[in-house]
């Protein structure tokens, strides 16, 4: 190692871990009526190549417009409040999630987030499988009046009605 190497900036100092303060998120991201998205991690802010992460807030007793995220997969983690998710070609399915719950939204699934509480904002962390901020707002869906409740079931958790 040469003497010059002793004074070089370590490779990872600026190309390693980054902390994005919660009060410095970027609201200059595609929006859907009824929600407020802010980017924390994307290509422009952190150099992310394969993910997008941020927050979403939905005011009490409010719902978003119907939308999907193209080819991207999305994960929503509920921090506070109660999320009611509707999805399908006519929003014919519904499920709810509370603090600590994760929601997975596959590519191209039309969906709508609803704050199921009348007196508390719904606050979530959102992560997508690419750093592109793809949001396709859909205005021509005619929602069914009474969606079918779908219990989130996996091989470990059984439907509470069975």
**pLDDT tens sequence for the chain (162 residues):** 444 455 566 778 877 898 999 999 999 988 888 889 999 999 988 889 999 999 999 999 999 999 999 999 999 999 999 999 999 999 999 999 999 999 999 999 999 999 999 999 999 999 999 887 788 888 888 888 888 888 766 666 656 565
If you compute the radius of gyration of the chain from its CA atoms, what whole number of angstroms results? 19
Q: Distance between CA atoms of 90 and 22, rounded to whole angstroms?
A: 36
Q: Distance between CA atoms of 162 and 151, rounded to whole angstroms?
A: 11
pLDDT at residue 8, rounded to an integer: 62
Q: Distance between CA atoms of 126 and 133, rounded to whole angstroms?
A: 11
pLDDT at residue 125, rounded to an integer: 97
- Report the predicted TM-score, pTM, of the whole model to 2 decimal places: 0.81
Name every residue whose Cβ is closer than 8 Å to that of residue 138 and which is 6 or more positions away in sequence: 65, 66, 67, 68, 110
**Domain 20-149 falls in which CATH fold?**
Jelly Rolls (2.60.120)
Q: How many residues does the chain have?
A: 162
């Amino acid at each position: 190692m040469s003497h010059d190497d002793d004074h070089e900036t370590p490779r990872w100092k600026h190309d390693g871990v980054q902390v994005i303060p919660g009060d410095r998120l970027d609201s200059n991201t595609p929006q859907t009526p009824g929600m407020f998205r802010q980017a924390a991690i994307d290509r422009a802010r952190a150099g992310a190549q394969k993910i997008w992460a941020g927050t979403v807030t939905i005011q009490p007793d409010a719902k978003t417009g119907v939308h999907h995220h193209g080819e991207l997969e999305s994960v929503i983690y509920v921090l506070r409040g109660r999320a009611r998710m509707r999805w399908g070609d006519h929003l014919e399915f519904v499920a709810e999630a509370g603090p600590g719950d994760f929601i997975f939204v596959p590519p191209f699934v039309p969906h709508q987030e609803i704050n199921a509480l009348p007196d508390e904002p719904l606050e979530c962390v959102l992560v997508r499988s690419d750093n592109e901020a793809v949001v396709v707002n859909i205005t021509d869906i005619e929602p069914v009046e009474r969606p079918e409740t779908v219990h989130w079931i996996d091989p470990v958790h059984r439907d509470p009605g069975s």
